[in-house]
Structure 1
Amino acid sequence: MAVVQFMVSVDLSVVNLGLPRIAAGLGFSAVGLTWVIHAYALTFGGLLLLGGKIADRYGLKRVLLIGLTVFGIASFAGGFAQEPGQLVAGRALQGIGAAALSPAALALLTVTFPSGKARVRAYGIWSAVNAAGGALGVLIGGVLTEYAGWRWVMFISVPMAAIALALAWRGVTAAPPTAPGGRPDVLGAILATAGMTLLVFGVVRTDQYAWTSPVTLGTLAAAVALLAAFVWVERSTSRDPLVRLGLLANRSVAGANSYNLLLGAAMASCFYFASLYLQQVLGNSPTVAGVQLLPFAIGVIVGAAVAVKLGYRLPLRTMLIIGGLVAATGFAWFGLMSADGSFLADVLGPSLVTSIGFGLCLGPVVSAATVGVAPRETGTASGLLSSSRQIGASLGLAALGTAAHAHTGQTTTIEGLTEGYGLGMTLGAVLLVGAVLIAFTVLPRTAASAEHGGHDLVAEPEQPGRHVGTGPSS
């Protein structure tokens, strides 16, 4: 499962350093180029809930293998794109495959390690590989773009998918479906994906149409209407809803996903602005910029390892508060970047601080969002968590990228670009402070359980005797 998640994470960031050459090779416009990222993130995030439901109904291993196959085919086709629409379509199909395989992989992890120290260690390894894949994807993308051509940022996923498929085929034990009845709510998935796509589309186009323009207001109003229709369908459908709204009444699930939304927004923005700063301001090649972002991967692994150790002693809420504050500090440091700066002075230090903070958050937020969920809803809970991060990544990149561009204006001077990137990083720090406030106010007070392991939750005092473990939720 770690190999599977590494592949998915790599594909989220592997295109970043290749974007300038992709634009030149296929003739993307400045606004159209962002859809190379958004097409993947939106289909991935928007369809994850459906992917989780399908995994619950038809079997985790079966859906995992199908998702890996679709992912590999999409990567192969996208590498041969001859025009912008073909590449965007390939990225969207990659997102569909990822939406099937990712919740199945996380649900398999949850089922295999239901409690105790093994669960804490498994989530620590999974979260470290997950985040390291995102960081290493930048390096891989830089090397491939410079020495093999931008098409290899798509082709590289083909052998990774093949390896993951072989490992999953042999290493994962098939089990009966956890929720074999009911029909998945396809209409709800379409409404959710379309609503989020319109929302991002409206935000991204504010560089052309003002926030108060009829075009922007109409687009955002349509997005809100689609999302409201999604909620109505989930409440009234005769099919198996994508997410049982009662699941969100669980404070731990609701708090973890809200936290994760802001965490995903900040993470995506960090890679985006840091890679642009290294290339556009400091003048580094894609390969050098990729190497300079490697400390980010190291910091995430260190943070995840520390989270495993502290997870036996500290409550989840405390871990998420600490991790969020550390990451916010790194973002604020990034916000001080200067036009005449250097890698050592403006990138290395904040990269390590930010990445360690992320590493401290990733394992605990997964555990908080899945522990205590009934076995029949493990795929749904996993899909909901992954969905919140991907949707957060797309919305965060759209909002912060637009804010940075608006601050920079039409200038292409080094100073103007630096100010825009610095503003984006500062806003990322604000998002993380918001995540910390959510952890403090929404997540329940919990205590580490010496008997069951650090991230198995003990209920709040007002619910005496009720253990929130791995059994069915009330």
Structure 2
Amino acid sequence: MSAVENRPAHKADPAPSAGAADAFPRRWKALAVLSLVQFVIVIDNTVVNVALPSIRDDLGTSQAGLAWVVNGYLLAAGGLLLLGGRVADMVGRKRLFVIGTTIFALASLTSGLAWNSGTLIVSRFAQGLGEALASPAALSLIVLMFTDSKERAKALGIWGGLAGMGATVGVLLSGVLVDLAGWRWVFLINLPIAAVALLLAARDVRDAPVTTSRQRLDVWGGLFITAGLVAVVNGFLQAAEHPWGSPRVWVSLAGGLVLVLLFAAVESRVQDPMMPLRFFTERTRITANVATVFLTSAMAAMFFIVTLYVQQVLGYSPLQSGLAYLPFCAAFVPGMILSTQLVTKAGAKNAIIVGFLVSAAGMLLLARIDADGSFWGQLVPATVVLSFGLAIGLPALQNAALHRLSGADAGLGSGVQTAVQQLGSSLGLAVLTTLAVMHSRDVAGSGQVTGQAMVDGYRFAFVTAAVVLAAGAVLVAVVMRSVRQPQRTADEPVSPGSPAPADSRS
């Protein structure tokens, strides 16, 4: 899956075991540090949503300003993740992880202390920049420190599972913090966690040497792909608030597509491209990245619509809305454990298919909700099944998305994976929530959209999400390749920059 550091063991290092000759002795402690930062970053993607009314009342923020509090973060992160991954390969993953985490922490401080809307919006852009630097660097560090395929599958399972759970914890935590401590603590709580992570990273995280011969960044390629991704993400965000025929939507989407095509043209001609064409030659990796869009779009829409349902239809408070996700969190842990076992024993492809199909079943169960609502009879069974499926599918997808990456491209592959997660989330919110609103209006006709009409729209969106997940399972089953090769042993070192042998059950 990736190249590893070709470094002889120091005398203090334990004797290498088969399949783990180059493994870093403190790799599991390093995983804890890297996962902790990613957990906090993912929480920050969702934690601010429940705090928006309090921010509006305290800072006098307009509705447009509130949209930028959310979208500024998403635009910066979604647009710069791919660039951040490539820069990590050039300057060092650990170095960029530290820089990104520091930026994220400082931006969290200014967000928590914001004295007006402008300060908060700029701080949210800076938080997105911090994620774009730290996330792909952290993921590539995990790939390079865990050289044994079974250990890597377990590590990526933990990473992917905690990242998925972070989205849920963000909803839960936001309600608790806003009700009990105030909206500023939604951001300030990041500071002690980031400080601990930075202190531990200096001791427990090891980077592979920078192996790429690249001396300069592909400037035009970086500009085109960054601007293109920003435009595409902005188009999806605008589509969540405006009709698809609005110039705000189609101009942004069309402009983004043109920029991405210009990026592809540049990459095919420059001597040292930002994204080498060899990246697109591995079918397993590309299929996994495409399938990630299917899963994250359904997942993001689910969180948004369920939160609307419990607050606007069932009348839950922010605290109650957060606590409603506790069963979801509880079901995530066994799903993570099963995902690791499936990847190592049955292969990532089979684990992804199982995860998608179980998640689709959970979406269909969610489509049983009604205006009266039953927490234990409707929400709990559906969210438990859905959580279990997502916990199986997400880690397996990340394992496949990083398949056969060389050490020189580990950051790039990680950046692509995190970027498609952001794009999938934006796409899901734009498309599925729009479908829900349009269906509710169709049901209501010329009358007012009542609670039952709203629920009908939500149910239609959940059924659509189930179809999307089922289609993702079919895509993986038909297109993704199952590669079965023997694992590397201690007698078969992998030199930096060369492709690693395929995972024996990818």
**CA–CA distance in 2 between the matches of 1:407 and 1:23?**
30
1:430 aligns with 2:462: no
Q: 1:119-153: CA deviations, max 9, x gaps? A: 22212222222222221121111111111122221
Instruction: Output the TM-score relative to the length of structure 2.
Output: 0.83
The equivalences for 1:340-359 within 5 A come to: 340-359=372-391
> Taking structure 1 as reference, are residues 209 and 162 closer, same or farther at Cα in structure 2, changes over 3 Å only?
closer
1:322 aligns with 2:388: no
Structure 1, 180-189 or 136-145: larger mean CA deviation: 180-189
**Contact 1:146/1:287 (8 A) holds in 2:** yes
> Taking structure 1 as reference, are residues 81 and 417 closer, same or farther at Cα in structure 2, changes over 3 Å only?
farther
1:452 positional shift: 6.4
Q: 1:154-200: CA deviations, max 9, x gaps? A: 22222222122112122112442232533223443443333333334
Amino acid at match of 2:147: P
**CA–CA distance in 1 between the matches of 2:414 and 2:208?**
17
Amino acid at match of 1:120: A
**CA–CA distance in 1 between the matches of 2:329 and 2:240?**
32
Unaligned runs of 5+ in 2: 1-33, 442-446, 490-498
1:24 positional shift: 4.1
1:68 positional shift: 0.6
1:108 positional shift: 1.0
1:270 positional shift: 1.5
> What is the SS of the residue equivalent to 2:345?
coil
1:445 aligns with 2:482: yes
**CA–CA distance in 1 between the matches of 2:279 and 2:240?**
38
Name the structure 1 match of 2:184. 151
1:64 aligns with 2:64: no
Name the structure 2 match of 1:191. 224
Amino acid at match of 2:478: T
1:291 aligns with 2:328: no
**CA–CA distance in 2 between the matches of 1:192 and 1:408?**
37
**Contact 1:115/1:469 (8 A) holds in 2:** no
> What is the SS of the residue equivalent to 1:341?
coil
> Taking structure 1 as reference, are residues 346 and 25 closer, same or farther at Cα in structure 2, changes over 3 Å only?
farther
Unaligned runs of 5+ in 1: 454-465
1:160 aligns with 2:193: yes
**Contact 1:369/1:385 (8 A) holds in 2:** yes
Name the structure 2 match of 1:301. 333
**Contact 1:68/1:101 (8 A) holds in 2:** yes
**CA–CA distance in 2 between the matches of 1:26 and 1:403?**
33
1:374 aligns with 2:406: yes
Structure 1, 201-210 or 381-390: larger mean CA deviation: 201-210
Name the structure 1 match of 2:418. 386
> What is the SS of the residue equivalent to 2:268?
helix
> What is the SS of the residue equivalent to 2:126?
helix
Amino acid at match of 1:126: W
> What is the SS of the residue equivalent to 1:279?
helix
**CA–CA distance in 2 between the matches of 1:214 and 1:134?**
31
**Contact 2:149/2:503 (8 A) holds in 1:** no
Which residue, 192, 209, 216 being the options, matches 1:176?
209
> Taking structure 1 as reference, are residues 213 and 92 closer, same or farther at Cα in structure 2, changes over 3 Å only?
closer
> What is the SS of the residue equivalent to 2:467?
helix
1:414 aligns with 2:462: no
**Contact 1:15/1:141 (8 A) holds in 2:** yes
> What is the SS of the residue equivalent to 1:236?
coil
> What is the SS of the residue equivalent to 2:275?
coil
Structure 1, 33-42 or 362-371: larger mean CA deviation: 33-42
Which residue, 65, 73, 97 being the options, matches 1:40?
73
Name the structure 2 match of 1:275. 307
Amino acid at match of 2:452: E
Which residue, 255, 278, 282 being the options, matches 2:287?
255
- The number of equivalent residue pairs is 457
Amino acid at match of 2:160: S
Name the structure 2 match of 1:399. 431
Amino acid at match of 2:258: A
Q: 1:251-309: CA deviations, max 9, x gaps? A: 01110100111211112112111122122221112122111102222222211101112
Structure 1, 101-110 or 269-278: larger mean CA deviation: 269-278
1:437 positional shift: 2.1
1:88 aligns with 2:125: no
> Taking structure 1 as reference, are residues 25 and 236 closer, same or farther at Cα in structure 2, changes over 3 Å only?
farther
1:221 aligns with 2:254: yes
Percent of aligned pairs with the same residue? Answer: 37
**CA–CA distance in 2 between the matches of 1:31 and 1:426?**
31
1:204 positional shift: 4.3
> Taking structure 1 as reference, are residues 346 and 470 closer, same or farther at Cα in structure 2, changes over 3 Å only?
closer
> Taking structure 1 as reference, are residues 151 and 37 closer, same or farther at Cα in structure 2, changes over 3 Å only?
same
Structure 1, 102-111 or 182-191: larger mean CA deviation: 182-191
The equivalences for 1:461-472 within 5 A come to: 468-469=501-502
Name the structure 1 match of 2:25. none
**Contact 2:358/2:385 (8 A) holds in 1:** yes
| Greater Rg by CA | 2
**CA–CA distance in 1 between the matches of 2:468 and 2:70?**
20
Name the structure 1 match of 2:152. 119
**CA–CA distance in 2 between the matches of 1:118 and 1:202?**
40
**CA–CA distance in 1 between the matches of 2:294 and 2:60?**
32
RMSD: 2.6
**Contact 1:13/1:138 (8 A) holds in 2:** yes
**CA–CA distance in 1 between the matches of 2:320 and 2:124?**
26
Name the structure 1 match of 2:21. none
